[in-house]
Amino acid sequence: MSASPVVAIVDSYGLSKIVSDEFQKRGAVLVRVQSTPEVPAAYRGAFDLSAYADNIVHRGDLEETARAVAAHRPVAVVAGGEIGVELADALSESLGLPTNGTALSAARRDKYVMIETIKRAGVPGARQLLVHDAAELAAWHEEFGGRIVLKPLRSAAGNGVFFCDHPDQSVAAFARISGQENVFSERNDGAVAQEYLRGTEYMVNTASRDGVHRVCEIWRTTRITANGVADLSDTVYLMPRNGPVQERLSQYAGQVLDALGIVHGPAHVEIKLTASGPMLVEMGARICGASLPYYAQTAHGTSQLDWTAEAYLRPEYFLDHHADETPEGRFCAFVGLVSPTAGTLNAYRGLEALKELESFSELKVYAQPGGRIARTVDDLSYPAVVILMHDSEETVLRDANTIRYLDGPSFYDVTPDPDPASVPAA
């Protein structure tokens, strides 16, 4: 048996490999567990298994999967992504490892149960309705009035989220959600309708050990209205760790973690700071997506990645140092380009201008010329992303605004998809 600690990662795919990489950097041997026999839509594509000592595919029998994982004698089972949360809970509990347990697993995945659970614990949460019937939804929206948000119960990355100002819009949105597959290739069973929370949205990334929480970094989001989406996330900014806003967010995030039974490991808490105070949008019991902890680590030298690894591999160190100050570092922004149309992408007009920005750090292009491009409607449909990093906050803010100025219909040379109404019937 290897003298190195073994860590089992549930659903480590290309998008979440930064978690595996962090443990491997610290000398851990990795075992990969895949929670579904088929790869979910959000994760399809090539991913490298060479870093893992074993790749165990869960086929529905928890005892069988637990035996296969136990054979490696792991010190921890960690969710690599959102879809792996429940199996990670079940395996860690079954194997007697540090665990958040299964009693509140549903509350950590189901967005309706999540909000009801924190409210029962006395934590402020949104007014909402569990929707299985269009007529009930229309009546609730009519009585509620104003804008509401409708979304699937178990999806992620803004998939299937609709902002509805009138009951007829809500009913139409429900028809588009119910029974459809989400990004995890799960069939949507109903939806949740929630009051629209007005205020700046923040992402609070944490790590925990034995119920002791560390806020690792906080990101501030900006939103635009585009492509029929009233509240499309376009940019996130890494905030200084300390400040009055950060303190309010940190205190509320801790209450959410306690209410949802987060005792060990990472969590990603999305919060809107409304006129009446912080309110939970949703929480994920896993590392923040879009590689944001990696960029926080690059900018500040430490992030949710480090503290998650410490929580599992060096718990004594975590408990002794969880309150340490975060080092000051560079300012960072993650700027998504917003495609206004769908079709065949012939070329981008202006990528070189992005690279000339003073705080430019990295360009990640997802929609390649010659291939398909989609309208940007959620976090999974950015055609490209620009990472900005600089010692000056003003420079990062200026360059992010410049990107938004450059980005637009003229930025894309696209042959649009034909209008379905113009295509003759077969």
pLDDT digits (tens, 9 = 90+) for 188-222: 788 999 999 999 999 999 999 999 999 999 999 99
Binned at pLDDT 50, 70 and 90, residue 158 comes out as low
Give tens-digit pLDDT for 259-281: 999 999 999 999 999 999 999 99
Look up residue 135 and give its DSSP letter.
H
Q: Where are any strands of DSSP class E within 305-423? A: 331-336, 343-348, 360-365, 372-373, 384-390, 412-416
Residue 1 — very low, low, confident or very high, per pLDDT cuts 50/70/90?
very low
Q: Report the alpha-carbon distance of residue 285 to residue 82 in Å, rounded.
A: 7
Q: How far apart are CA 340 and CA 374, in angstroms?
A: 8
Q: Contact, 174 vs 164, CB < 8 A?
A: no
pLDDT digits (tens, 9 = 90+) for 116-153: 999 999 999 999 999 999 999 999 999 998 999 999 98
Q: Tokens 């690279």 correspond to what residue?
A: 355
State the pTM of this model: 0.93
Strand 191-195 and strand 128-131: the pairing is: antiparallel
* pLDDT value at residue 143: 93
Q: What is the pLDDT of residues 218-236, one digit of tens each?
A: 999 999 999 988 889 999 9
Distant-in-sequence contacts of 347-355, Cβ < 8 A, 24+ apart: 347/413, 348/384, 348/411, 348/412, 348/413, 349/410, 349/411, 349/412, 349/413, 350/406, 350/411, 351/384, 353/406, 354/386, 354/403, 354/406
CB atoms within 10 A of CB 103: 10
Q: Which residue has the tokens 């697993």?
A: 105
What are the DSSP E strand ranges found in 285-419?
Answer: 331-336, 343-348, 360-365, 372-373, 384-390, 412-416
Q: What are phi and psi of 214, to 5 degrees?
A: -120, 130
pLDDT exceeds 80 at position 426: no
